Amino acid sequence: VLPANNATAHGTVRPEDTPRGDTRPPTPPSPARGHGLSTERKLVFGVAIALVLLRSSVFVFFDAIFDSDQAIVGLMAKHLSEGRTFPVFTYGQDYQLAIEAWLAAPLFWLFGPSVLALKFPLLLINIALAIVLIHLLERELGLRPVVGLLVASLFILSPPGTTIYFLEASGGQVEPLFAALLLWLTRRQPFAFGIILAFGFLQRVFTAYALGALVVVELLDRSLFTTVGWQRKLKAAMSFTAVWQGIGLARAQAGSAWGPATSEAYAGLQTTTSDSAALNVGFLLDRFCFDPGSLPGSLVDFGGPFLSTLLGGHREPLVDLAIPSAGTQGVNGLWILLGTALVLALGRSVWHTVRGTARAWDTHLQFATYLFLIGAQSSVVYLLSQCGEISIMTMRYTLLTVLGIVGLVAYHVVIETRKPLRYLTLAVVSLWAAVALWGHARLLSEFVRDPPVNNRQVLADYLVANDVEYGYADFWDVYSTVFFADEQVILSSTSVWFIQEYERIVQNHQEEAFWIAREPCEDGILATDVHYVCPPRAGP
């Protein structure tokens, strides 16, 4: 049932994939890879696309889940589509490329600014990630497509509280996962590998986990220090450096550090790629907080409620996960079942490795090992860097843990010699997937029946209808409101700001600038459930 190739349980072995010490001959083509598997593969890909669309719809096709962080990227895409600016990094930052804005800009130019146009490229990335993951599980591990779909469902059907990040246009939540798969695909194409690594690292520093995992795999199979291995590394380093320096030059020339009509020098930001690298790593180190005393508690919190939320293992109100819904995700007790299955899978995998019946660096297991190592790094770094503050609010820092769980389950399914244990693992994952699917269906049904309203959309409509052109508001209201108003209203942030042009415009129209407040004010009008529009000079 499980192998995609009846000739071997290890999948197809290619000569170029055979490391020193692995003397297995290449597997001849099998008739089992004929029409039957081809049809199954197409059906599986179709189901995977449908499932990704189902679990992504509320985040892509509705405007309710959209905040100022995402609006900044949307405004960047709008400015790009209008030719007003050509940002290399996200406005006000020096550690995340503006890739999401560049992907959305053509859609903005064709169809106009919208949440759908902004998030549609992210939807395509999610679909591509699911397809590539299933493909690699079949090609590298020898799993049948349908089993690959089931294992990959741990990503495909991630619960709403996790999926929200995979569709969040805030500078790089799902991209590291996709980059990790691309780096595996191009590990023997050094120039492409270096290019992907450079873009991936500058987009989100967590892409480095994939490089670390690959180095460990090549150390284990002893291919790292071969002549061919060194040649690949040197070529990859050349292309990596070329992209790195090219982005640095583009950044220095294009400018736009703080939005239209600004430059890197004007904003006071450095303009060299070495500075960018330092800031990229420095940003991570600034948020690294290690407290040995809190580690035991962190382990308990991470292995319990945190991972349970990440995988939807208990009943939890969606409103607590920043999703405007009266529903919940997960089922109580599911994490106990799934967590036990994962611990069993880990224990059995270690047991087989110790006994020598399976080695993590064997060709047919390397991809699963690679995924597991990525997730392990993500989890360990997160655990060690939070000073005991394990919270769903910082889940975005360890999303690659999902790939690690996929790798663990895949590894166990391939190496497990006892069929009852193998089928037990798959049965638990199937049950989890069914619960997750039902949860996504309920959430989508709720949004279709009674679409939630984004208060910033209501506020923007009110301001435009009442000819309010300028104003002051808190950061979390400024950019999303301006985006929904299509910049017919310009707001200045009363706290942190990222688009300097807005600050300058409002300063030049202070006497006309209204105040957007969360508390009643003199002569103020309640424009939304929580926003008061206060006359000029009547603000807080």
What is the per-residue pLDDT across 453-468, written as a single tens digit (0 to 9) for each?
999 999 999 999 999 9
> Edge-to-edge, what's the strand order for the sheet holding 532-534?
490-493, 470-473, 514-517, 532-534, 525-526
CB-CB neighbours of 494 under 10 Å: 17
Region 509-527: what's the mean pLDDT? 94
Q: What is the pLDDT of residue 290?
A: 82
Q: How far apart are CA 395 and CA 392, in angstroms?
A: 5
Question: 470-473 and 490-493: which strand pairing?
Answer: parallel
Q: Which pLDDT score, from 0 to 100, does residue 106 have?
A: 98
Place of tokens 């299509």: 486
Signed CA dihedral, 35, 36, 37, 38: sign only: positive
Q: Is the pLDDT of residue 538 over 60?
A: no
How buried is 375 (Cβ within 10 angstroms: 0-12 exposed, 13-18 middle, 19+ buried)? buried
The amino acid sitting at 531 is H
How many helices (H) does the chain have, and how many strands (E)? 21, 7
**Close Cβ partners of 105 (under 8 Å, ≥ 6 residues apart):** 77, 78, 80, 81
Q: Write the DSSP symbol of residue 303.
A: I
Does the pLDDT at position 85 exceed 50?
Answer: yes
Confidence class for position 93, pLDDT limits 50, 70, 90? confident
Q: What pLDDT score was predicted for residue 10?
A: 40
171 contacts 73 by C-beta, under 8 angstroms: yes
pLDDT tops 70 at residue 105: yes
| Residue 419: Cβ within 10 Å count | 10
* Mean pLDDT computed over 207-215: 97
Q: Which two tokens stand for residue 450?
A: 């009674």
For 276-301, the pLDDT digits (tens) are 444 555 566 666 788 888 899 999 99
Share of the chain above pLDDT 90, in %: 76
Cβ–Cβ contacts within 10 Å for residue 7, how many? 16
**Which is nearest to 166 in space by CA: 211, 134, 226, 119?**
119
- Predicted confidence band of residue 270 (pLDDT cuts 50, 70, 90): very low
The C-alpha atoms of residue 368 and residue 447 are separated, in whole angstroms, by 37
Higher pLDDT, 231 or 273: 231
Q: What is the pLDDT at residue 274?
A: 41
User: What is the pTM (predicted TM-score) of this model?
Assistant: 0.90
**Helix ranges restricted to H, 61-174:** 68-81, 99-111, 115-141, 145-156, 160-166
Three-class DSSP category at 134 = helix
Q: Residue range 491-503: average pLDDT?
A: 93
Q: What is the pLDDT of residue 285?
A: 65
**Is it the case that residue 16 has pLDDT exceeding 60?**
no
Instruction: Give the separation between CA 103 and CA 39, rounded to whole angstroms.
Output: 33
| DSSP secondary structure letter of residue 362 | S
Residues belonging to the chain: 540
Q: And the tokens for 379?
A: 């989890």
Backbone angles phi, psi at 473, to 5 degrees: -160, 170
Name 532's bridge partners: 517, 526
- Top pLDDT among 252 and 365 is at 365
What distance in Å separates the CA atoms of residue 465 and residue 449, rounded to the nearest whole number? 27
Q: CB-based contacts of 130: which residues, under 8 Å, 6+ apart?
A: 48, 49, 51, 52, 152, 155, 156
Task: Identify the pLDDT of residue 360.
Answer: 86
Give the torsion sign (CA, 382, 432, 405, 167): negative
- What phi and psi values does residue 534 have, to the nearest 5 degrees? -105, 140
Phi, psi of 535 (to 5 degrees): -60, 160
CA 428 to mean position of chain CA atoms:
25
**CA separation, residue 525 to residues 455, 530, 534 (Å):** 15, 11, 7
Confidence of residue 435 (pLDDT cuts 50, 70, 90): very high
- What one-character-per-residue DSSP string does 334-357 give? HHHHHHHHHHHHHHHHHHHHHHTS
pLDDT confidence band for 387 (50 / 70 / 90): confident
Q: Among 65-74, 212-221, 354-363, 461-470, name the one with the lowest average pLDDT.
A: 354-363
Structural Rg of the chain based on CA atoms: 25
First and final C-alpha spacing in the chain: 67
Q: Which amino acid is at 56?
A: S
Q: Compute the mean pLDDT over every residue in the chain, rounded to the nearest whole number.
A: 89
Mean pLDDT of 422-443: 98
Compute the Cα dihedral for 192, 193, 198, 202 and give only its sign.
positive
Task: Output the pLDDT for position 540.
Answer: 55
Q: Average pLDDT in the 41-62 region?
A: 98
Give Cβ neighbours of residue 135 (< 8 Å, ≥ 6 apart).
148
Is the pLDDT confidence value at 157 over 90? yes
Interatomic CA distance for residues 157 and 402, integer angstroms? 11
| pLDDT tens column, 405-418 | 999 999 999 999 99
CB of 183 closer than 8 Å to CB of 450:
no
pLDDT of residue 1 exceeding 50, the answer is no
